[in-house]
């Protein structure tokens, strides 16, 4: 169960730049305009053999021109409620502002491990300015430059020392953990209630790790799995429920704790930006996926044509990963609820599919021969052998080539699609690696 670190602070103190540095991504755009990059709000970071997730709280708020203290205060409250450690970013060049003081007073009350991080310390002279930040009352400020990376090593050392040892998962059994995720009001709790029916006694709750996800054991109709409950037991901290950003923060924990995610989409609203944010988190964590279009009973046009059109729209928005089941259901009328469970179970089983090496080579090598990777600079790329890597979290295949560095993403995707066509990996991600033979 991972640790979650939030980066909070005023607009334009460099939250995204620090986020990009920690997660080693380089999104083309980090500009002064908030919301310019879409996917920059959540990522994984590894330091000293510890992996943790980082959330950039600035990435989810719409326009920074009119972020009043209220917005930032909400973000900070949510971060406190959801995260294990807070990085409070301040700008050494502007010094302490009233807004910084306001944020600091919330953080001091929270008792959560918090680091004051002075950003934009691009020269040694500027270090002397850092003393001013002691008045935030949050301990020693760390001087860094997220642009050049200076000082970030010390910060990360201090950061990982604060992680609580997560208890090992309470759940030993080898049965699927299923999380129901989606935007607010997409019908998550209704579908969970529809699964569980009134026979709550079939159900045992097991508290999960560090920040209590509750696992609900489900055994009936021949199904046996854990539901990861996201709506959770935590007190709602004076945060407006309508906060989209809140629902994403909530989902992160559930997704990281599960094997299969059921992504709920509201049939009356179609697929929206927020659904895609949640989908990207599922993908980053390489979890299985079943998409459920809920509230199908409220849609006027239920023709096959409409269904096809809707499916196509969803797959287009979630491409390149399109090999997953889409189910049109209704939690209220319980229409196709059973099928949702069947598909989730199937997606879990597909994660453990093994393909024999000889069969893999017999199938894939002729395909590769017919459609070899495009030659680059007159060099021909030959792939002579492939195999599935044993004991991986998701099915992973390795293709041995003479010039692996020249095999580009589109060809890797072609290989993945060919594997999917010949074996059933519906609903589970696949890794395709090209290695030196």
Q: Determine the average pLDDT of the residues in 4-28.
A: 81
Q: In what order do the strands lie in the sheet with 383-388?
A: 383-388, 396-401, 431-436
Alpha-carbon Rg for the chain, nearest whole angstrom, is 24
Eight-state DSSP code of residue 330: B
Is the pLDDT at 33 greater than 50, yes or no?
Answer: no
Backbone torsions φ then ψ of 302, nearest 5 degrees: -105, 20
Is the pLDDT at 166 greater than 60, yes or no?
Answer: no
Nearest partner of 408 among 384, 372, 437, judged by Cα: 372
Lowest-pLDDT range of 63-72, 134-143, 169-178, 328-337? 63-72
234-255 per-position pLDDT tens digit: 444 444 544 566 677 778 888 9
Is the pLDDT at 383 greater than 70, yes or no?
Answer: yes
- Strand 431-436, strand 396-401: pairing: parallel
The pLDDT assigned to 167 comes to 45
* Higher pLDDT, residue 166 or 45: 45
The pLDDT assigned to 201 comes to 38
Tell me the H-state helices in 241-355.
244-256, 273-284, 304-318, 337-350
Question: What is the pTM assigned to this prediction?
Answer: 0.79
Is the pLDDT at 24 greater than 90, yes or no?
Answer: no
Q: For tokens 């980090």, name the residue.
A: 30
The pLDDT assigned to 282 comes to 92
The pLDDT assigned to 147 comes to 85
Q: What percent of the chain has pLDDT over 90?
A: 39
33 CB contacts (<8 Å, ≥6 apart)? 64
CB count within 10 Å of CB 356 equals 10
331-372 per-position pLDDT tens digit: 888 889 889 999 999 999 999 899 999 999 999 999 999 999
Cα angle 359, 361, 365 (rounded to 5 degrees) comes to 135
CA distance 428 to 412: 16
Q: Determine the average pLDDT of the residues in 91-120.
A: 91
45-68 per-position pLDDT tens digit: 888 888 888 888 765 555 545 556
Q: 134: helix, coil or strand?
A: helix
Based on the number of CB atoms within 10 Å of its own CB, is 367 exposed (0-12), middle (13-18) or buried (19 or more)? middle
C-alpha distances in Å from residue 34, one per residue of 9, 60, 127, 180, 189: 13, 9, 28, 30, 32
The pLDDT assigned to 308 comes to 92
Lowest-pLDDT range of 133-147, 182-196, 265-279? 182-196
The pLDDT assigned to 376 comes to 86
Based on the number of CB atoms within 10 Å of its own CB, is 135 exposed (0-12), middle (13-18) or buried (19 or more)? exposed
The pLDDT assigned to 202 comes to 44
CA distance 55 to 42: 5
Lowest-pLDDT range of 36-50, 153-167, 326-340, 371-385? 36-50
When pLDDT is cut at 50, 70 and 90, the band that residue 196 belongs to is confident
Backbone torsions φ then ψ of 282, nearest 5 degrees: -60, -45
The pLDDT assigned to 294 comes to 92
The pLDDT assigned to 165 comes to 60
Estimate the crossing angle of helix 69-82 against helix 98-110, to 10 degrees. Answer: 20
Is the pLDDT at 31 greater than 50, yes or no?
Answer: no
Tokens of 209: 């790790």
């Amino acid at each position: 169960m991972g640790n979650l670190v939030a980066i909070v602070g005023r607009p334009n103190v460099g939250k995204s730049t620090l986020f990009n540095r920690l997660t080693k991504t380089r999104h083309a755009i980090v500009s002064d305009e908030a919301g310019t990059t879409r996917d920059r709000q959540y990522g994984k970071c590894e330091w000293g053999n510890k992996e943790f997730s980082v959330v950039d709280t600035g990435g989810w708020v719409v326009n920074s021109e009119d972020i009043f203290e209220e917005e930032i205060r909400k973000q900070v409250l949510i971060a406190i409620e959801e995260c294990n450690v807070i990085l409070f970013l301040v700008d050494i060049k502007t010094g302490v502002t009233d807004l910084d003081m306001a944020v600091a007073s919330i953080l001091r009350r929270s008792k959560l491990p918090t680091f004051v991080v002075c950003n934009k310390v691009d020269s040694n002279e500027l270090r002397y300015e850092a003393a001013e930040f002691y008045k935030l009352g949050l301990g020693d400020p760390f001087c860094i430059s997220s642009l050049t990376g200076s000082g970030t090593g010390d910060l990360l050392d201090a950061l990982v020392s604060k992680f609580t040892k997560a208890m090992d998962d309470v759940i030993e059994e080898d049965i699927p953990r299923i999380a129901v995720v989606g935007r607010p009001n997409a019908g998550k709790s209704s579908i969970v209630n529809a699964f569980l029916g009134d026979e709550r006694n079939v159900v045992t709750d097991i508290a999960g790790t560090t920040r209590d996800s509750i696992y609900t054991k489900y055994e009936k109709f021949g199904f046996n799995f854990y539901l990861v409950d996201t709506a959770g037991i935590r007190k709602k901290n004076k945060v407006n429920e309508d906060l989209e950003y809140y629902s994403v923060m909530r989902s992160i924990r559930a997704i990281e704790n599960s094997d299969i995610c059921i992504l709920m989409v509201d049939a009356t609203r179609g697929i929206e930006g927020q659904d895609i944010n949640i989908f990207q988190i599922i993908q980053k964590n390489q979890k299985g996926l079943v998409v459920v279009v809920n509230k199908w009973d409220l849609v006027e046009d239920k023709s096959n044509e409409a269904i096809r059109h809707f499916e196509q729209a969803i797959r287009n928005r979630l491409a390149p990963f399109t090999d997953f089941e889409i189910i049109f259901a209704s939690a209220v009328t319980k229409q196709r609820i059973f099928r949702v469970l069947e598909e989730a179970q199937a997606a879990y089983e597909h994660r453990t599919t093994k393909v024999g090496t000889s069969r893999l080579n017999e199938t894939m090598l002729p395909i590769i021969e017919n459609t070899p990777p495009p030659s680059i600079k007159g060099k021909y790329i030959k792939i002579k052998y492939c195999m599935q890597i044993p004991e991986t979290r998701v099915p992973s295949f390795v293709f041995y080539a003479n010039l692996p560095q020249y095999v580009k993403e589109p060809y890797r995707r072609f290989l993945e699609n060919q594997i999917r066509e010949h074996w059933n990996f519906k609903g589970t991600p696949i890794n395709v690696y090209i290695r030196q033979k």
